[in-house]
Amino acid sequence: MTPTTSAPTPEEPFGARLRRAMDARGPLCVGIDPHGSLLTDWGLGDDLVGLERFARTTVEALADRVAVLKPQSAFFERFGSRGIAVLEKTVAEARAAGALVLMDAKRGDIGSTMGAYAATYLDKDSPLFSDAVTVSPYLGFGSLRPALDAAALSGSGVFVLALTSNPEGAEVQRATAADGRPVAQLMLDHMAAENAGATPLGSVGAVVGATLGDAGVDLAINGPLLAPGIGAQGATPADLPGVFGAAVGNVVPSVSRGVLRHGPDLGALREAADRFADEVRAAIGGA
C-alpha cells in the first residue's frame, strides 16, 4: 500500500546546533533565575508583572550574544499557571532571538511518567518545547529512555545530572555502584554510549559542577558538559581546566546570579556576560 503521509523530516541534532553556537558565540550559558531577591533588587515587584519584566529584559539583553539561555523552571512555577505562561513566552522569545534554550527542570521519574515530561519539553508541538532539558538519572538511567527517544526525534537534547555543583550531591553521586564504579561514572558511561558515533558532538550532555575541583571521573562522553556553579556559588572560569581536564573543549560554563545581579540595565547585563565570556576564553580558549 502506498503511504499517504511522508515520514517526519529528521531534525538537525541538538549537539550539532550547540557546537555551531559555541563556535560562533563562545560556550557561555546564562541562567534566567528570577529569585524574589533579584526582582526586588531590580526595583520590581515579586509578582507576575515583575517576573515577566525580569525574564523579558534578560532575553532582550542576552539572547543575541550567548550560546545558551537556561531558564530555571522553579522560579516560574512558584507563580502557578500564570508563571508557566510567562515561561512559555520566555522560551519562545529567547529562541526567536537566536539563543538555544536549555530548560532547567531536572525532571526524573519512572519511565511512563518520564514520557509525559518528554512530551512537555521535547515535543515540538508543546508550548514549553525547548532545545534541551535537564533530567535526573537517579531513578536509574534507563528511566530516562522516553526523554532520550523524544530528544532524538525532535532534534533536541538532554543534560543528565552527573556530579552536581552542591556539596550534598556527593553522598549519592560519589557512592560506589554494585559493579564498583562510582555512581556518577556509571551515569557518564551511559551517556557516552548514547553519544557513540555522533559528530561533531552528541546530544546527551552531562551536568558537572564547576565547583568540584578535579571531577575525578572520566568525562569523555562525546557530549556537552554543562558546568553550573560559576559566580554566586564561588567557582570561576579559571577553575574549568582543573575540573574538566582534557574534556574542557566540550564545556558549557553556566552562570546565573553572577550576571543577573547587574540588571536591570541592559548594558550592564551585557557587560557582565561579556566579562564572563572573556574570562572563559582566557581560561579555555574558543570564540
Q: Which of 257, 271, 274, 275 binds ligand LLZGTKA7 (CB under 6 A)?
A: 257
In the block, residue with C-alpha cell 554543562: 226
Q: Residue 5 to residues 8, 11, 28: CA-CA distances in angstroms?
A: 9, 17, 41
| Residue 106 annotated among the catalytic residues of the structure | yes
Neighbours of 37 (CB within 10 A): 11
Q: Which of 255, 273, 277, 284 binds ligand LLZGTKA7 (CB under 6 A)?
A: 255
User: Degrees (nearest 5) of the Cα angle 62, 203, 176?
Assistant: 110
Least separation in angstroms between residue 162's CB and ligand LLZGTKA7 is: 9
DSSP assigned state of 37: H
Q: Which of 165, 173, 195, 203 binds ligand LLZGTKA7 (CB under 6 A)?
A: 165
CA 216 to chain CA mean position, Å: 22
The runs of H, that is alpha helices, within 122-256 are 145-154, 170-173, 183-195, 240-244
Which residue number, 50 or 228, has a Cβ lying nearer to ligand LLZGTKA7? Answer: 228
233 binds ligand LLZGTKA7 (CB under 6 A): yes
DSSP assigned state of 38: H
Which residue number, 126 or 233, has a Cβ lying nearer to ligand LLZGTKA7? Answer: 233
Give the closest residue to 33 by CA, choosing from 63, 70, 3, 68: 70
Determine the Cα–Cα distance for residues 274 and 28; give it in Å rounded to an integer: 9
33 binds ligand LLZGTKA7 (CB under 6 A): yes
Helix or strand or coil: residue 51? helix
Cell numbers that stand for 187 in this block: 551515569
Least separation in angstroms between residue 172's CB and ligand LLZGTKA7 is: 12
Determine the Cα–Cα distance for residues 284 and 237; give it in Å rounded to an integer: 8
Least separation in angstroms between residue 229's CB and ligand LLZGTKA7 is: 6
Q: Which of 57, 58, 72, 195 binds ligand LLZGTKA7 (CB under 6 A)?
A: 72
Q: Which of 157, 231, 253, 264 binds ligand LLZGTKA7 (CB under 6 A)?
A: 231
Give the closest residue to 165 by CA, choosing from 240, 101, 66: 240
Which residue number, 121 or 152, has a Cβ lying nearer to ligand LLZGTKA7? Answer: 121
Least separation in angstroms between residue 11's CB and ligand LLZGTKA7 is: 26
Which amino acids are annotated catalytic?
Answer: 106
Residues that bind ligand LLZGTKA7 (CB under 6 A): 31, 33, 72, 104, 164-165, 207, 209, 228-229, 231-233, 254-258
